Structure 1
Amino acid sequence: MGLQKHSTILADTVEQLSDEASYKQLFHAYRDEEALPSGEVLKEIVDLCRSILFPGYYGNARISKQTIRFQTGVNIEMLHERLSGQIYAGLCFADSSCTACPEEKISEQAKRLSEAFIKTLPEIREILATDAEATFNGDPAAQNVGEVIFCYPGFRAIVGYRIAHRLYSLGVPFIPRMITEMAHSETGIDIHPGATIGHSFSIDHGTGTVIGETSVIGNSVRIFQGVSLAGEKLPPDENGQTIRGVARHPILEDDVTVYSNSTLIGRIRVGKGATICGNVWIAQDVPAGMVITQNNALR
């Protein structure tokens, strides 16, 4: 009797979970030969990017000046193949209204996007070099730039962001957010791939740091753990729907420093060279060069 009751409970649960009304917005119908982007493969892609950008620190530890051209060529070929496949999956997933997917067309688009990303790797390396140097210069505890590249979670999160932002700028769907969320899980630092960040950027410690989608950060900006560049909550549109695609996060001009656990909210502007001390809530513009503390504002 107990076994029969147990079977009935299971059968009833299956019926409830199979009711279309219960899964309507939570269900993805696969098309022939289509797969969702893979977190496991994207991790391999990020690792390949790291090994290309920082030879010797990641990937083949035996790489030398004599073998770097060969090893880089091998890694680039692998990156192109795997990234093309993941972009293809992302494009198919994003086009939910497509019922007769022109596979060859989308496959070619994915390959072109992959090539466009790979073409920018020298530029990404160049800007990451400024980020590594800024992190080293800002932290007396760092022994050398190599320690920053290999050990620092703030720099690791910035690398993930730089890769994801370039894919985001190319219009690649889903994958950029997946990459920054992987870095978020790994480091506790949440940077939206849509944020715009200049060169020589550093995040000290970093746990709990949040940088929202429409944030704009200038050059030589330094932020600490627990800092939140948050978006203001906008009123709904005339149909009661959430308004999207509106600039709603802060702008930090060049040479700004924001210390730990401070929250900057809304489309405010923090002027060049300003300093935001720890544990403050800022919801209005800050003039250039000003120092903001809990108790006062000093020029």
Structure 2
Amino acid sequence: MTFATTTFLDHLLNQRAQYRYKLPSRPDAGRFIDQLMRLLFPVTQDCQSASQQVEETYNRLNEQLVCLFRPLADNLPSRPEDIADRFFDNLPAIYERLLLDARAIASNDPAAVSLEEVVAVYPGFYAIAVYRIAHQLLHLDVPLLPRMLTEYAHSQTGIDIHPGAQIGPSFFIDHGTGVVVGETTIIGENVKVYQGVTLGATHVAKSMAQKKRHPTIENNVVIYANATILGGNTVVGHDSVIGGNVWLTESVEPYSLVYNQHQTDVRSKKTE
């Protein structure tokens, strides 16, 4: 082994000792979230999971969550076992929120055949579900793992929802690919978002990290494909419709209709 290699390995060893966090396994985090989803919604269970008792699955998931917490133990507000218990105490409320989300999709999407189809195959519902679980963990002051979970959902669906966002009930993401919801976004009730929508920040300095940087979307708003809404002071008033490809960096009043005005010419080739 050369001197340069030895020096480099020593550097890696010293760097490892200086890391603030040791991280849980990303594959384990993904397995936990998928198994939790199968517990909540049996329609998505595989043959192995279907053969197990609910209580047995619950206990196994509790153990898995504690295992995910252990690498973070020095940065948790209390024992991993206590935080896991608090999380599962809040699971019924999360479940009820997810039912509202699934029903919003099933009721509003003409292509949705049933609630079971929404739960089983809709990427928007899956991304919302993982967000709500991760958001609860963030509320319990669990570091890093919430973001790990939402990034797992991002990799599976193409939908990027930061766990710090605040999202009201009956949220509907239609199609979903390319949707981005930033950390300080606030979304009200019965909001519908199409693919490619960005709820983001204008360029801000790192010192603004703890400030509100992302928009507020009030109740009953529809945002169509590829619209971009930016800025912490931007508020989209309730019952508004934001058209496709709109770029919005200022607030709009309730009941607004915002759209790009352009002209599309359609001609018959026979006249040419």
Please state which band the TM-score falls in when normalised by the shorter chain. Answer: 0.7 to 0.9
Instruction: State the secondary structure of the residue aligned to 1:242.
Output: helix
Amino acid at match of 2:170: S
| C-alpha deviation, 1:111, in angstroms | 0.7
Q: Whose Rg is larger?
A: 1
Q: Deviations over 1:103-130 (max 9, x none)?
A: xxx8x61111101111111111101011
Amino acid at match of 1:89: P
Amino acid at match of 1:191: I
Amino acid at match of 1:74: E
Q: Deviations over 1:173-207 (max 9, x none)?
A: 11000000000001000000000001000100111
Q: TM-score, normalised by structure 2?
A: 0.87
CA contact (8 A) 1:47 1:59 kept: no
Residue 73 (structure 2) aligns with: 91
Residue 116 (structure 1) aligns with: 86
Q: Deviations over 1:52-90 (max 9, x none)?
A: 210242255785xxx9xx822111111111101211212
Residue 47 (structure 1) aligns with: 34
- Structure 1 runs of 4+ aligned residues shifted over 3 Å read 10-13, 15-20, 59-63
Change (3 A) 1:13 1:137: farther
CA contact (8 A) 1:216 1:251 kept: yes
Residue 189 (structure 1) aligns with: 159
Amino acid at match of 2:252: V
Residue 100 (structure 1) aligns with: none
CA contact (8 A) 1:56 1:62 kept: no
Instruction: State the secondary structure of the residue aligned to 1:29.
Output: helix
Amino acid at match of 1:182: Y
Residue 212 (structure 2) aligns with: 247
Aligned pair count reads 260
Structure 1: runs of 5 or more not aligned: 1-9, 96-105
Between the aligned partners of 1:261 and 1:202, the Cα distance in structure 2 is: 16
Residue 77 (structure 1) aligns with: 59
Amino acid at match of 1:229: L
Change (3 A) 1:53 1:214: same
Root-mean-square deviation over aligned CA pairs = 2.6
Amino acid at match of 1:204: D
Q: Deviations over 1:114-148 (max 9, x none)?
A: 01111111111101011001111221111111111
Structure 2: runs of 5 or more not aligned: 263-272
| C-alpha deviation, 1:28, in angstroms | 2.8
Q: TM-score, normalised by structure 1?
A: 0.80
Change (3 A) 1:112 1:19: closer
